[in-house]
Amino acid sequence: MALYRREHSELWLQLAPPRSPERLSSSADAVHSVLLSKGACFLRELVSSAKLLQTQVEQALGELAAVGLVTSDSYAGLRSLVTPSAKRQPLAGATRRHRTVPFGMEAAGRWSLIREQASGSGSQGAPADAIEQYARILLRRYGVVFHRLLAREGIAVPWRQLLLVYRRLEARGELRGGRFVAGVTGEQFALPEAVVALRAARRQGESGSLVAISAVDPLNLLGTVLPGERVPSLARNRIVFGDGTPLAVLESGVPRMLGDFPPERSQAITAALLRRPVSPKLRMYLGMAGRKAPERWGRKVTSDQ
């Protein structure tokens, strides 16, 4: 699954690995044939044109989406596909005793095929301008780029191709090469503003504040750049950092400390990890007290809390 801007679709499809031929079911093959001949269609059009039941069309769309052949106009299509059928809205005239989600496949809009001609080359045969755009995206994402970071990326562009781009950009003066991250071997490249930010952070020293991120965040570098076990990139998994050091992780709803901390510090780390709701009275007090108040509890309150 990939989320990107429409104007960037050509870039990501060129860099995507080539798809191996898939053996589709008869229902999926029928829906694929309809989309190939008629173009983008709504769910009702697919049901009538493919001469299948609506449940069969939904299963076919899920199969086609799983192999990267179709896309829809809205997020409702993706939400419907990942929602169990027992929790979806029932078909017309049917009712369920338990609560269902407030959307269905009908709200997905049109379904269409992803263009084959733009997605078959893969990163090995991608044009030079696409590789340069990807190299710049990595720089904007991380600030400092080196070989070990590619272990977390889903697009397997060879480091040797990125290295040629970064050396050329360094020769132009657009970025800097050197040793910016300790404990990492090989060449490193950084944006000028990233170097300034790193120097400012080093001069600032430790502040004791806590920052919690989702495991799908690009800052989840455990097991790749940072020591420790890798945390799966799932939205429900979380990691708490203190001054850039990972302190605790939340996996499958179970918190796990990455070190020994005093009781008060452990309590603050757990609170940041679980993202416990703040009562209205406490939220009002924190808003009146300013930025100094949250530090009394050893926790930094961020915008998503």
DSSP string, 238-251: EEEEETTEEEEEEE
Q: For residue 82, how far is the Cα from the chain centroid?
A: 16
Q: State the residue for tokens 């400012």.
A: 200
Q: Report domain extents, the chain.
A: 19-118, 128-203, 206-297
Residue type, 177: G
Cα dihedral 26, 3, 119, 147 in deg (nearest 10) = -130
Q: What is the pLDDT along the chain (305 residues), one digit of tens a residue?
A: 677 787 887 888 788 766 665 688 999 999 999 999 999 999 999 999 999 998 899 899 999 988 888 888 888 888 888 777 666 666 555 555 555 556 677 778 899 998 654 444 555 667 888 899 999 999 998 999 999 988 878 777 899 999 999 999 999 999 999 999 888 889 999 999 999 998 988 888 777 788 899 998 888 888 888 888 889 888 889 999 988 889 999 998 888 999 898 988 888 888 888 875 555 555 555 554 444 434 333 344 343 43
Candidates 3.40.462, 1.10.3470, 1.10.10, 2.60.120; CATH matching 128-203: 1.10.10
Tens-place pLDDT, residues 6-17: 788 788 878 876
Q: Is the pTM of this model over 0.85?
A: no
Note whether 19-118 and 128-203 share their fold.
yes
Tens-place pLDDT, residues 265-280: 888 888 888 875 555 5
Q: How crowded is residue 124: how many other Cβ atoms within 10 Å of its Cβ?
A: 12
**DSSP character for 17?**
P
Report the topology of domain 19-118. Arc Repressor Mutant, subunit A (1.10.10)
User: Which tokens go with 248?
Assistant: 């605790």
C-alpha 29/C-alpha 157 separation (Å) is: 32
151 Cβ contact partners less than 8 Å away, ≥ 6 residues apart:
224
C-alpha 170/C-alpha 181 separation (Å) is: 18
For residue 11, with 0-12 CB atoms within 10 Å meaning exposed, 13-18 middle and 19 or more buried, which class applies? buried
